[in-house]
Amino acid sequence: MNAPGGEPHGLIEPRVLRSALGRFATGVTIVSCIDPASGQPVGLTANSFNALSLDPPLVLWSLRLASPSVPAFRAAAHFAVNVLAEGQVELSRRFASQVGDKFGAGHWSPGLGGAPVLAGCAAVFECQAAQQQDAGDHVLFIGRVLRVSGAADGGVAPLVFQGGHYRMLGEVL
């Protein structure tokens, strides 16, 4: 039996899947923590963030198992999800790169558990690590939201990623 795209089930080429997934617009985040082993901040750009539950307040995000940041996030008791604003494209690119001092740009302050919180974001979710689950070539991180900011002002538009490009929101319908 073939899937709707004409590929047999279980034989979807990664390139095709990635292209199809890219049609889905997502927000852009920088997820951050303090590495318990080194005491240093760790952060990366991620668009795999999503709401999970309102009661209890839970969010989730995923990270490729091959990422060098996996050990730090697995060991961290807290992490912050910084939802980037439209004007933070360069910061997103910096945290998606291999640059040495990722935290050398932007205005940061320590949040709960020391997790770096970025100023000027559309929203920030400060979380206590709740669960981890390996799934395929990624690990899912579930966090219990302990503090949220950016919800009250409503005036900061989020950065969006779709089709391999950063985008800005258009007209509100």
pTM: 0.89
- Cβ–Cβ under 8 Å, residues 45 and 92: yes
Kindly list the domain boundaries of the chain, sorted by start residue.
29-154
Judged by DSSP in three states, 18 sits in: helix
Look at residue 124 in the predicted model and tell me its pLDDT: 97
Cα distances from 56 to residues 77, 88, 124, 168, in angstroms, run 18, 30, 17, 31
Fold of 29-154: Pnp Oxidase; Chain A (2.30.110)
| Nearest C-alpha neighbor of 141 from the set 29, 82, 63, 56 | 63
Look at residue 1 in the predicted model and tell me its pLDDT: 40
Tokens of 129: 């690590």
- Cβ–Cβ under 8 Å, residues 62 and 70: no
In sequence order, the 6+-apart residues with CB closer than 8 A to the CB of 81 are: 29, 31, 49, 59, 61, 124, 125, 127, 143
How far is CA 31 from its chain centroid? 5
Mean pLDDT per 10-residue section of the chain, whose length is 173 residues? 52 88 90 97 96 98 97 98 96 94 94 96 97 97 96 78 88 72
Tokens of 121: 């974001």
